Amino acid sequence: MPKTATKHKVTVEEAMEDLRQATIKSTGSPGVSAEAQRAVEQLNELYTENKEAFTAEDVRFANVLRGMLGNRLAAHAPKATHTKKAKRKGDKLDHCWRCKTPVDERFCDNCPTCSEKAYQWRVCPVCNACGCQRAGTVLI
């Protein structure tokens, strides 16, 4: 297809499909990570522009895919042992709510956007989940 001056506006369905395809391919190859990153950015942009274009099922499914994608890409990395971190005051889970990775020493970033004095949200190193997605301020 010839490139036109106006950028093709992707629909939610197309963007969801891009993420689904990247997630499928991520099992076989770590090389898909750039494509996956684009799919994630694309969906987050669409979500920022118009949250209403996403059904509750879209949001749920996009997060399932994003969690799977994180796990699959991480599985290509060399095996390493991790040290589990103890639950902090206020932690409801001892694992990432989205990709289920147990909270270990890699969970060292707190999200400045959704953290409060009373509770600091950790950012998952595997799928990048934090309280932002939980609160619906960011899609995935």
131 lines the binding site for Zn ion (CB under 5 A): yes
Angstrom distance (rounded) from CA 124 to CA 129: 5
114 lines the binding site for Zn ion (CB under 5 A): yes
Nearest CB to Zn ion, comparing residues 2 and 45: 45
Segment interacting with Zn ion (CB under 5 A) among 8-16, 33-41, 85-93, 107-115: 107-115
Phi, psi of 134, rounded to the nearest 5 degrees: -60, -40
- The count of residues interacting with Zn ion (CB under 5 A) is 13
CB of 8 to Zn ion, least distance (A): 30
Q: Of 99, 103, 139, 140, which one interacts with Zn ion (CB under 5 A)?
A: 99
Burial class (CB in 10 A: 0-12, 13-18, 19+), 133: buried
65 lines the binding site for Zn ion (CB under 5 A): no
Angstrom distance (rounded) from CA 50 to CA 23: 24
Angstrom distance (rounded) from CA 23 to CA 37: 11
Nearest CB to Zn ion, comparing residues 10 and 106: 106
Strand partners, 122: 110
Q: Of 43, 62, 73, 96, which one interacts with Zn ion (CB under 5 A)?
A: 96
E strand segments, 29-100 = none
Q: Which residues bind Zn ion (CB under 5 A)?
A: 96, 98-99, 111, 113-114, 124, 126-127, 129-132
